[in-house]
Chain A
Amino acid sequence: MPTMTIAKAINAGLRAALEQDESVLLMGEDIGTLGGVYRVTEGLKSDFGPDRVVDSPLAESGIIGTSIGLSLRGYRPVAEIQFDGFVFPGFNQITTQLAKMHARSNGQLTVPVTIRIPYGGGIGSVEHHSESPEALFAHTAGLRIVTPSNAHDAYWMTQQAIACADPVIVFEPKRRYWLKGEVDTEDPGASADPFRAHVVREGTDATVVAWGPLVPVALAAAEASAEDGRSVEVIDLRSISPIDFDAIIASVTKTGRLIVAHEAPTFGGMGGEIASRVGEAAFLSLEAPVIRVGGFHMPYPVAKVEEHYLPDIDRILEALDRAFAY
Chain B
Amino acid sequence: MGVELPTTEFSDIPDELAMELEAHAHDGAEGHGAMVQLLDEDGRFRRDSKLAESIKGLSEDSLQGMYRQMAMIRRFDTEATALQRQGQLALWVPLRGQEAAQIGSGAATQAQDYVFPTYREHGVALTRGVDLAELLRLFRGLSNGGWDPRATGFHLYTLVLAAQTPHAVGYAMGMQRDQARAAARGEEAGDPGAVVAYFGDGASSEGDVHESMVFAASFKAPVVFFCQNNQWAISVPAEVQSRIPLFNRAKGYGFPGVRVDGNDVLAVYAVTQWALERARAGKGPVLIEAYTYRQGAHTTADDPTKYRLSDEEQSWLAKDPLARFEKHLRAEGIADEAFFEQVAADGDALATKARADILEFTAPVLADAFANVYAEPHPLVEQELAWHRDYEAGFADAAAEATREGGR
Contact = CB atoms under 8 A, between A and B. Distances in A.
A315 B310 CA distance: 69
A72 B212 CA distance: 16
Nearest to A107: B372
B108 interface: no
Contacts of B163: 65, 92-93, 96-97
Given A65-B165, A65-B167, A74-B174, A106 B3 contact: no
Interface stretch (B68-76, B87-95, B176-184, B266-274): B176-184
Contacts, number: 153
B248 to A, nearest CB: 21
Interface string B46-75: 000000000000000000000000000000
B363 interface: no
Interface string B164-175: 011111111111
A102 B375 contact: yes
Contacts of B375: 102, 107, 110, 112, 165-166
A89 B166 CA distance: 13
A104 B156 contact: yes
A108 B148 contact: yes
Interface stretch (B10-18, B139-147, B319-327): B139-147
A22 B211 CA distance: 26
A62 B211 contact: yes
A191 interface: no
Contacts of B171: 69-70, 72-73
Interface stretch (B120-128, B254-262, B376-384): B376-384
A75 B177 contact: yes
Interface residues of B, number: 49
Contact of A51 (B2, B155, B374): B2
Interface in A33-74: 48-52, 56-57, 59, 61-62, 64-74
B215 interface: yes
Interface size class of A (residues with CB under 8 A): 35 or more
A144 B374 contact: yes
Interface in A67-123: 67-75, 77, 89, 92-93, 96-97, 101-110, 112
Query: Chain B contact residues: over half helix, strand or loop, or mixed?
Result: helix
Given A70-B173, A144-B374, A242-B378, A57 B218 contact: yes
A106 B381 CA distance: 15
B365 interface: no
A141 interface: yes
A22 B185 CA distance: 13
Question: Which of B3, B150, B173 gathers most chain A CB within 10 Å?
Answer: B173
B212 A65 contact: yes
B207 interface: yes
A142 interface: yes
A51 B219 CA distance: 10
A102 B374 CA distance: 7
Given A50-B2, A59-B214, A96 B160 contact: yes
Given A92-B160, A105-B149, A51 B177 contact: yes
Contacts of A48: 1-2
Interface in A216-266: 241-245
Nearest to B211: A62
Nearest to A66: B170
A241 B177 CA distance: 32
A164 B377 CA distance: 11
A164 to B, nearest CB: 6
Nearest to B195: A69
Interface of A: 22, 25, 48-52, 56-57, 59, 61-62, 64-75, 77, 89, 92-93, 96-97, 101-110, 112, 141-142, 144, 164-166, 195, 241-245
Given A109-B150, A141-B373, A245-B379, 11 more contacts: A65-B170, A65-B208, A66-B167, A69-B166, A72-B170, A73-B175, A97-B158, A105-B372, A106-B144, A106-B146, A244-B379
8 contacts: A51-B2, A57-B215, A62-B212, A73-B178, A92-B163, A103-B369, A164-B376, A165-B376
